């Protein structure tokens, strides 16, 4: 009678041959030595010491060996795994030390460097100037209104009583967008904001609208195809030209100081009736006899052209849905660039637009 041949397995397990185990160990040690950083070493650890590594798999085969072969194979695989783990630990230590050293060099902060070496930026005088102008009116209880720079032809012209054949249309050299039959322009003035405001609000209306405008002008010391205007609009009961004059005098004084007022000269704008050109008292000679004659700022006039204004044309009120029997209004429009040129003695308009940071910096960090 023979017993069950349970602990003898005649199958030879190749991975457990001495030279195989040796090859696995060699491969693992070579990979460990070749790992250049901790990330690579992590991969090597997975491949050569992880659960699915050749040595781990070999270890699992040991149980399948005949008892007499188990001891020797167990020792062989155990030693190889021990050597691999040792090599991994040693390499980890080396790579960690290297990593730390590199971080120390790469992340060095020179605490002896002087601070605040970066020049402080400054806001552009057009931005601060527009805000300053708006503030003058906001302080009187007005609101700031805005509109898009890409504007409907109707709002830029027709709503303002500048019909298609109106000769004044050609006074404003317009940038048209394509296709022409969409009737869209780059706004030539801030006056369309008047129309937008009247269409969306009900009187009493007190708004000021600073913004960018466009005309096909040459680019020189006094012209630019893009510039800035500020529009003012009041619509209320009982508004007269006297309110307009008072508001503009206040604006002039706020911008240029005590004693700087305005004067009106009769003029024509389709959206106002009557209309006037506004002149600003020359802030250099103030029109004083003995000084005005030689003043180079106003060229002996005592006054400087500042903008346009007038009583809102009833046709504009009607086009924008406001009853001209009940309400009257006034409006004005000035060049912001021009105003700031006066205020700061800027002689070339191009300095405002060319973006040299030294120009803006000269105005300081005005908030
Ligand atoms: N929109 C005019 C222009 O750009 C300026 C202007 C004139 C605005 C008279 C007004 C005004 O509001 O009443 O030439």
Strand partners, 278: 264, 307
Q: Closest Cα to residue 230, out of 142, 107, 144?
A: 144
Beta strand pairing call for 328-335 and 272-281: unpaired
Q: What is the rounded average pLDDT of the residues 105-111? A: 90
Kindly report, residue by residue over 202-245, the tens digit of the pLDDT. 999 999 999 999 999 999 998 999 999 999 999 999 999 999 99
**Best residue among 206, 309, 338 to mutate for probing ligand 1, ranked by most atoms within 8 Å of CB:** 309
Peptide bond into 310 cis (omega under 30): no
Distance from residue 341's CA to the centre of ligand 1 (Å): 19
Which phi and psi angles does 232 have, rounded to 5°? -125, 145
Ligand 1 lined by 193 (C-beta under 6 Å): no
Q: Which helix (H) or strand (E) holds 188?
A: none
User: For residue 183, is it left (φ>0), alpha (ψ between -120 and 50) or beta?
Assistant: left
Domain locations along the chain: 10-106, 125-361
| Percent of the chain at pLDDT exceeding 90 | 73
Q: Report pLDDT for 114.
A: 81
Which residues sit opposite 267 in a β-bridge? 275
Q: How far is the CA of 146 from the centre of ligand 1 (A)?
A: 16
Residue range 182-210: mean pLDDT, rounded? 96
Report the range of poorest mean pLDDT among 30-44, 103-117, 206-220, 249-263: 103-117
Place of tokens 């020797």: 72
Which of 262, 271, 279 is the pocket-test mutation for ligand 1 (most atoms within 8 Å of CB)? Answer: 271
Determine whether domain 125-361 maps to CATH 1.20.1730.10.
no
pLDDT at 38: 93
Closest residue CA from atom 8 of ligand 1: 333
Average pLDDT over residues 121-130: 90
Among the atoms of ligand 1, which is closest to the Cα of residue 310? 13
The CB of 277 under 6 Å from ligand 1? The reply is no
Ligand 1 contact via 153 beta carbon (within 6 Å) = no
> Which atom of ligand 1 lies at the shortest distance from residue 309's CA?
13
- Residue 166 DSSP label: -
Check pLDDT > 90 for residue 143: yes
Percent of the chain at pLDDT above 70? 94
For the residues of 221-270, what is the DSSP string, one character each?
SS--SEEEEEEEEEEETT--HHHHHHHHHHHHHHHH-TT--EEEEEEEET
- Is the Cβ atom of 330 under 6 angstroms away from ligand 1? no
Which among 189, 227, 247, 315 is the best mutation to test ligand 1's pocket, defined by most ligand atoms within 8 Å of the CB?
A: 189
Centre of ligand 1 from the C-alpha of residue 188, in Å: 10
Q: Which residues pair with 143 in a beta bridge?
A: 207
Per-residue pLDDT tens for 44-96? Answer: 999 999 999 999 988 888 888 888 788 888 888 999 999 999 999 999 999 99
d(CA 150, CA 153): 9
In eight-state DSSP terms, residue 176 is: B
Q: How far is the CA of 189 from the centre of ligand 1 (A)?
A: 7
Q: Buried b / exposed e across 60-75, counting CB within 10 Å, b at 16+? A: eebeebeeeeeeebee
Q: Is 309 in the pocket of ligand 1 (CB under 6 A)?
A: yes
299-321 pLDDT, tens digit each: 999 999 999 999 999 999 999 99
**pLDDT, average across residues 13-30:** 85
Question: What pLDDT is stored for residue 15 in this prediction?
Answer: 61
Cβ of 310 closer than 6 Å to ligand 1, yes or no, is: yes
Give the residue from 201, 208, 212 showing the smallest Cα distance to 175.
212
The confidence score (pLDDT) of residue 224 equals 94
Q: How high is the pLDDT of residue 119?
A: 73
Closest approach atom of ligand 1 to CA 213: 4
Q: Is there an atom of ligand 1 within 6 Å of 270 CB?
A: no
C-alpha 334 – ligand 1 centre gap (Å): 7
Average pLDDT of every residue of the chain: 90
Is 269's C-beta closer than 6 angstroms to any atom of ligand 1?
yes
Residue 1 pLDDT level (bands cut at 50, 70, 90): very low
pLDDT value of position 7: 53
For ligand 1, the distance from its centroid to the CA atom of residue 263, given in whole angstroms, is 16
User: SS3 of 102, please?
Assistant: helix
């Amino acid at each position: 009678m023979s017993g069950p041949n349970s602990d003898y397995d005649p199958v030879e397990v190749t991975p457990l041959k001495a030279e195989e185990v040796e090859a696995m160990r060699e491969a693992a040690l070579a990979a460990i030595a070749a790992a250049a950083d901790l990330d690579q070493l992590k991969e090597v650890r997975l491949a050569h010491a992880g659960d699915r590594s050749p040595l781990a798999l070999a270890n699992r085969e040991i149980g399948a060996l005949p008892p007499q072969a188990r001891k020797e194979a167990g020792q062989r695989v155990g030693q190889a795994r021990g050597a691999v783990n040792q090599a991994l630990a040693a390499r980890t230590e080396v790579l960690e030390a290297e990593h730390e050293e590199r971080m120390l060099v790469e992340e060095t902060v020179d605490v002896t460097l002087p601070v605040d070496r970066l020049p402080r930026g400054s806001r552009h005088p057009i931005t601060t100037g527009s805000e300053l102008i708006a503030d003058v009116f906001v302080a009187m209880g007005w609101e700031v209104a805005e509109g898009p720079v890409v504007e409907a032809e109707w709002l830029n012209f027709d709503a303002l009583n500048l019909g298609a054949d109106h000769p004044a249309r050609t006074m404003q050299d317009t940038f048209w967008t394509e296709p022409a039959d969409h009737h869209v322009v780059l706004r030539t003035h801030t006056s369309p904001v008047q129309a937008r405001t009247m269409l969306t609000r009900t009187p009493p209306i007190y708004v000021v609208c600073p913004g960018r405008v466009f005309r096909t002008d040459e680019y020189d010391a006094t012209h630019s195809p893009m510039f800035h205007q500020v529009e003012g609009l009041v619509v209320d009961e009982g508004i007269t030209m006297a309110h307009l004059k008072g508001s503009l005098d206040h604006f002039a004084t706020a911008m240029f100081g005590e004693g700087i007022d305005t004067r009106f000269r009769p003029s024509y704008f389709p959206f106002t009736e009557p209309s006037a050109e506004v002149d600003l008292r020359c802030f250099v000679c103030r029109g004083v006899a003995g000084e005005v004659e030689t003043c180079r700022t106003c060229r002996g006039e005592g006054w400087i052209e500042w903008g346009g204004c007038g009583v809102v044309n009833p046709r504009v009120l009607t086009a924008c849905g406001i009853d001209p029997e009940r309400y009257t209004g006034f409006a004005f429009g000035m060049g912001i660039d021009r105003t700031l040129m006066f205020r700061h003695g800027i002689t070339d308009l191009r300095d405002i637009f060319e973006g040299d940071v030294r120009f803006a910096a000269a105005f300081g960090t005005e908030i």
